[in-house]
Structure 1
Amino acid sequence: MFLGCHLTISKGYSNAAKAAISIGANTFQFFTRNPRGAKAKTLDMEDINEFEKILNEYKFGPLVAHAPYILNLASHKEDTWNLAKRVIKEDLERLENIPCPYFTFHPGNHLGKGIDYGINRIAQGLNEIITGNENTMILLETMSGKGTEIGYTFEQLKGIIDKVKYSELIGVCLDTCHIYSAGYDIVNELDNVLEEFDRIIGIDRLKAIHLNDSMKEFGSRKDRHEKIGKGTIGLEAILNVLNHPQLKDLPFILETPNELDGYREEIKLLISKSY
């Protein structure tokens, strides 16, 4: 089982890995740069070399990098769209130097232009970014469907993937809070949801899980993460996801409203209840 949380790399990648170890994690997620901005620090290769040694020594599972929230690759505004393309391209180039196989991002918001427009815009952007030589896979995150978000149905994600030339470099990161809020009943019908995912997208494209409870009710189309076992999804359903034979070998990333101590307790709880 690869279980971890979102950690800051502001004090270096090696320190983030040490923080993960301190809370019992063997994977983690990190922002590639300021989550609310576009600035990125110069890579410290000495730190990254130390980081890689720690990952190998403690047998970490696959890590996940996360793009900043400000990106909107579905935007009709040229400045916004070009910024998203630039940041994603730069981050993919930076990740060639970091032992992290996955880069996830929120597909985008069509801002009233319509879902089809947004899907085409995202795919066009990815086709201008991806060369086919990257070692990092881009993961489209499943969304809750608030506002004009794209990516809250499996069909929408499939629509993007099908339009990307190097589609072998595109996968999916499934967020439990998001898909539950979007209307996929992972509490009562997890097997059916995964069968639908496999039929539409292909289960082999599912590469990472954001493991979150939800503050909001099923089908609410709201994105409000809750601590594990404290929300409308509940501990039992979260454990079913964690232990599902089609999912159990993936990296699971907690994005719950916690500090390190809270993540430590959640990791301890989930490991103790796993089978």
Structure 2
Amino acid sequence: MYIGSHLSISKGFKAAGNVALEIGANTFQFFTRNPRGGKAKELSIKDIEGLKKIMKDNEFGPLLAHAPYTLNMASHKEDTWDFAKRAFQDDLKRLETIPCSLYNFHPGSHTGKGIEYGIERIATGLNEVITGNESTMILLEAMSGKGTEVGSTFEELKAIIDKVKYSELMGVCIDTCHIYSAGYDIVNELDDVLEKFHKTIGIDKLKAIHLNDSMTEFDSHKDRHEKIGKGTLGLEAIVNIIKHPQLKDIPFLLETPNELEGYKEEIKLLKEYV
């Protein structure tokens, strides 16, 4: 099982790799740039080589890069949309140097323009920045459906993928808190939800999972992450997810409200069930 958490790269990628080892992880997620802004840290080849060695020596799974929250590819505002495209394009270029094969982003919010507009806007933006020569798999994150978010249903995610020219470079990252809040009952009907995902998108497109419990009830359309086993999903459902044969080779990334010690405890707990 590949399991890790969200880690800071403020001290470099090699340092993040060492922190991952300290908490018992064999993968991790990181923001490509300031999550509330747009500035990106200058890359160091020496630092990156250090991370590569850690990953090789410790049989790490795929790392997951996360786009900043400020990126809204569905926006009707030209300056917001242009920033999203510039940041996205720069991230893809930088990821050709970083040993990370997965890039996740929130599809965006249509801010009142409607789901169809948002889908079209996202796909148009992606088609303007993806060249087809990238070695990185680009993941749409499944959302909870709060406000005017795009991507809270498998059908919406599929619609975006179908409109992207280089759709072979597109995949999906499921967030367990998000999809439970969006109305997919992964507590009582996990097999049915995965079957629906497969029929709608294709299980081969599922490349990563954000593993979170939820503070809110099923179908609440709210995005409130909780610590593993402390929320409405519960430990049993989460264990069923990490042990499911269709998911066992996918990297699991914790985004629970924890510090490093909390992540370490959760990773240890979940490893005991595998």
Q: CA deviation at 1:30?
A: 0.2
State the partner residue of 1:97. Answer: 97
Q: CA deviation at 1:41?
A: 1.5
Q: CA deviation at 1:92?
A: 0.3
Where in structure 2 are the equivalents of 1:93-242 lying within 5 Å? 93-242=93-242
Distance 1:211 1:223 in 2: 13
Distance 2:115 2:260 in 1: 38
Distance 1:223 1:156 in 2: 18
State the partner residue of 1:250. Answer: 250
SS in structure 2 at match of 1:149: coil
- Do structure 1's residue 38 and structure 2's residue 38 form an aligned pair? yes
Deviations 1:69-112 (A, max 9, x none): 01100000000000000000000000000110000000000000
The amino acid that maps onto 2:100 is: C
State the partner residue of 1:24. Answer: 24
Stretches (4+) displaced over 4 A: none
Distance 1:167 1:257 in 2: 33
Deviations 1:43-78 (A, max 9, x none): 011100111111101110000000000110000000
Deviations 1:223-242 (A, max 9, x none): 00000000000000000110
- Structure 1 gap segments, 5+ residues each: none
Distance 1:272 1:40 in 2: 37
Q: CA deviation at 1:18?
A: 0.1
Deviations 1:205-253 (A, max 9, x none): 0000000000000000000000000000000000011010000110000
- Structure 2 gap segments, 5+ residues each: none
The amino acid that maps onto 1:152 is: S
Distance 1:53 1:264 in 2: 22
The amino acid that maps onto 2:152 is: Y
State the partner residue of 1:80. Answer: 80
Distance 2:271 2:154 in 1: 29
Distance 1:92 1:229 in 2: 35
Count residues in correspondence: 274
Greater shift, 33-42 or 12-21, is seen at 33-42
- Do structure 1's residue 267 and structure 2's residue 267 form an aligned pair? yes
Q: CA deviation at 1:273?
A: 1.9
Q: CA deviation at 1:173?
A: 0.3
Q: TM-score, normalised by structure 1?
A: 0.99
SS in structure 2 at match of 1:108: coil
Distance 2:11 2:160 in 1: 35
Q: TM-score, normalised by structure 2?
A: 1.00
Greater shift, 114-123 or 42-51, is seen at 42-51
Deviations 1:123-151 (A, max 9, x none): 00000010000000100000000000000
Distance 1:161 1:144 in 2: 19
SS in structure 2 at match of 1:49: helix
Distance 2:243 2:52 in 1: 28
Distance 1:263 1:42 in 2: 27
SS in structure 2 at match of 1:109: coil
Percent of matched pairs sharing the same residue: 72
Distance 1:55 1:203 in 2: 26
The amino acid that maps onto 1:46 is: K
The amino acid that maps onto 1:120 is: E
The amino acid that maps onto 1:228 is: I
